[in-house]
Amino acid sequence: MSTVLNVLLPIFGLILVGFICRRTNRLGPTAASEMNRFVVWLGLPALLFSLTAKADWAQIWQPGFLLAFTGGMLAVFLITLAYRWKTTGSLVDASIDGLSAGYANTGYIGIPLCVLVLGEDGMAPALIASLMVVCVLFGLAVVCIEVGLQSKKGVGGAIAQVVTALLKNPLVLAPLLGAAWALGGVQMPAALDEFLRLLGAATVPCALVSLGLFLAQRQSGPSEGAWPLVALKLVLQPLVTWFIAFVLLDLPPFWAHAALLLSALPTGTGPFMLAEYYQRQAALVSRAILFSTLGSLLTLTLILLLITP
């Protein structure tokens, strides 16, 4: 139990600090947005670029882990998407709900958690999972939203608009540029390496404090339906991932544990950013993030008790 507390307390402690600072008005109403901009546009892209530019791609290419984590993620997204699309008739709202149910917070919580639990080697599965969440799931959700919004313009026009938007996203562009750098085989200059290290080191604490600031904000609008999304995220996704990783594929313990741990993470802020951008049900998404973050204290504790000696 002490191991579990040592892992979770620093992470949720930083989230709590941000929450308290906002509720006591030590940090103002725009603090969450501005700190999140720093993370999205500077800190996390620097970290993702550095990791992918220096990554051992032969070691990162783990088809079993990819199938287990991505399979659980996409299964939950597609189930939620199909059900909500059928009941609401809106592909846009259904896409955001599906994203809320399947979007694991791999960047803000997953990276520090995996490093604390699995050691420095835990960065590899956390990086892979982050790329899958951002490049695959987030991209798929944006495609579905744009198709729903741009259906009158035709699928071709919607796809062109989506591709343009994705190429402008720093969380998509940074790892792609890092991968291109790695393929080029050029040694990274020491000054650039240190610059990226310093910038990337600020990512995790700023991201966690920003998440706390965000969770402390009161959102207006209806929030019914958050709990089913939380159950899908914290219960169904880990169960599907567990079945694929442990039963179907019988992965090595390190990769199986990493897949299970990352699949059990709470919902990240990506769905909220999309809901705000497209002026959709932001209150529902914010509640799903808040409730899943609080609920993950229990589910992550149970999983850590199972996978840690």
In angstroms and rounded to an integer, the radius of gyration of the C-alpha atoms of the chain is 19
**Predicted pLDDT at 133:** 87
In degrees and rounded to multiples of 5, residue 104 shows phi and psi of -75, 140
For residue 22, give every residue at least 6 positions away whose Cβ sits within 8 Å of its Cβ, in sequence order, or none. 29, 31, 32, 212, 213, 216, 217
User: How long a stretch of residues is the chain?
Assistant: 309
Alpha carbons 30 and 67: distance in angstroms, whole number: 39
Pick from 106, 111, 292, 125: nearest CA to 215: 292
Pick from 235, 210, 258: nearest CA to 106: 258
Give the total number of structural domains in the chain.
1
Alpha carbons 284 and 5: distance in angstroms, whole number: 30
Contact 244, 67 (CB under 8 A): yes
Alpha carbons 115 and 309: distance in angstroms, whole number: 16
What residue numbers bound the domain in which 186 lies? 1-217+225-307
For residue 95, give every residue at least 6 positions away whose Cβ sits within 8 Å of its Cβ, in sequence order, or none. 81, 141, 144, 145, 148
Model confidence over 65-87: pLDDT tens digits? 999 999 999 999 999 999 999 98
Low-confidence ranges of the chain (pLDDT < 70): 1-8, 56-60, 150-159, 161-162, 165-166, 219-223, 276, 309
Contact 102, 237 (CB under 8 A): yes
For residue 107, give every residue at least 6 positions away whose Cβ sits within 8 Å of its Cβ, in sequence order, or none. 44, 130, 133, 134, 171, 203, 207, 268
For residue 89, count CB atoms less than 10 angstroms from its CB and return exposed for 0-12, middle for 13-18, buried for 19 or more. Answer: exposed
User: CA torsion sign, 106 to 110 to 112 to 118?
Assistant: negative
**Predicted pLDDT at 47:** 82
CATH value at residue 269: 1.20.1530.20
